[in-house]
Structure 1
Amino acid sequence: MATISQLQQTLKFTFGVVPIVAGLDKFTNLLTNWADYLGKNADLIPFDALIFMKIVGVIEIIAGIIVLARPLIGAYIVMIWLICIALQLLIGGNYFDVAVRDLVMAVGAYTLAQLTKLKGEKL
């Protein structure tokens, strides 16, 4: 049976590495064309959507690093970030499947925070 520490480490690695990979991909668009996810909200951005997505990429890389270094605060940051992405997708009227996936991942990030608390780590 897995211990709390093993579960916490698995989620820490997942929520640390995945945002870093997604953030790096904002510069290459190998996984997808990230600007497409802005939908009609792209018109609200005062500059090019590709530049905006690179800024998002930097934020995601930083969030992943924070999860690896300080999993409690990092988990909450990633959770909030994922909820914001899901809300943006819902408001944009597209990619409802991705919005639901991001909300499920936000629950996973919350679980990481709770497991980290059980281990006695502080903010």
Structure 2
Amino acid sequence: MATLKQLQKTLQLTYGLVPIVAGLDKFTNLLTNWADYLNKGLIPIDPSVFMKVVGVIEIIAGVLVLLRPKPGGYLVMAWLICIALQLLAGGHYLDVAVRDLVMAIGGYTLAQLSTNPSGNPKGVSA
């Protein structure tokens, strides 16, 4: 059976590496054309420029999760909620919005598992 520390490390690697990969892909669009997901009425600049800015933020968030999982987990959680709200406001890609909200719960879980230096959040026993 996995320990809380192992689960925390799995979430840390997942929520660290995935944003870095997605952020880097904002410059190449190999995985998808990221600008398609934008509610273009909400942004005042060119979608490709905006997505590159998003990419830099995602790379920073991923690195933060790898180095400091508690604040990084909360940052990734907030970022995913913002993405989901933007998608909901646009009325498209609602499945992706729901997926991002579920992923935000994972970011919150990572932050909570990283709350205590012993690896056990308050009130949770190993």
Give the TM-score band, short-chain normalised: over 0.9
Superposition map of 1:39-54 within 5 A: 41-54=39-52
Q: Paired residue for 2:68?
A: 70
* Contact kept? 1:4, 1:119, Cα under 8 Å: no
C-alpha separation between the residues in 2 aligned to 1:16 and 1:93? 29
C-alpha separation between the residues in 1 aligned to 2:53 and 2:75? 16
C-alpha separation between the residues in 1 aligned to 2:79 and 2:47? 18
Alpha-carbon shift at residue 45 of structure 1 (Å): 2.1
Deviations 1:27-48 (A, max 9, x none): 000110000001xx31332221
Alpha-carbon shift at residue 117 of structure 1 (Å): 1.3
Alpha-carbon shift at residue 120 of structure 1 (Å): 4.4
Q: Paired residue for 1:37?
A: 37
* Contact kept? 1:4, 1:115, Cα under 8 Å: yes
C-alpha separation between the residues in 1 aligned to 2:11 and 2:40? 32
Aligned residues with identical type, % of pairs: 72
Which 4+ stretches in 1 moved above 6 angstroms?
none
TM-align CA RMSD: 1.2
Say which structure is richer in helix: 1
How many positions carry a matched residue from both structures? 119
C-alpha separation between the residues in 1 aligned to 2:16 and 2:34? 20
Unaligned runs of 5+ in 2: 120-126
Equivalent residue of 2:52, what SS?
Answer: helix
C-alpha separation between the residues in 2 aligned to 1:44 and 1:113? 30
C-alpha separation between the residues in 1 aligned to 2:81 and 2:48? 22
C-alpha separation between the residues in 2 aligned to 1:44 and 1:15? 27
C-alpha separation between the residues in 2 aligned to 1:104 and 1:71? 18
C-alpha separation between the residues in 1 aligned to 2:107 and 2:13? 11
Instruction: Give TM-score scaled by structure 1 length.
Output: 0.93
Q: What is the one-letter code of the residue matched to 2:111?
A: A
Deviations 1:1-47 (A, max 9, x none): 10011000000000000000000000000110000001xx3133222
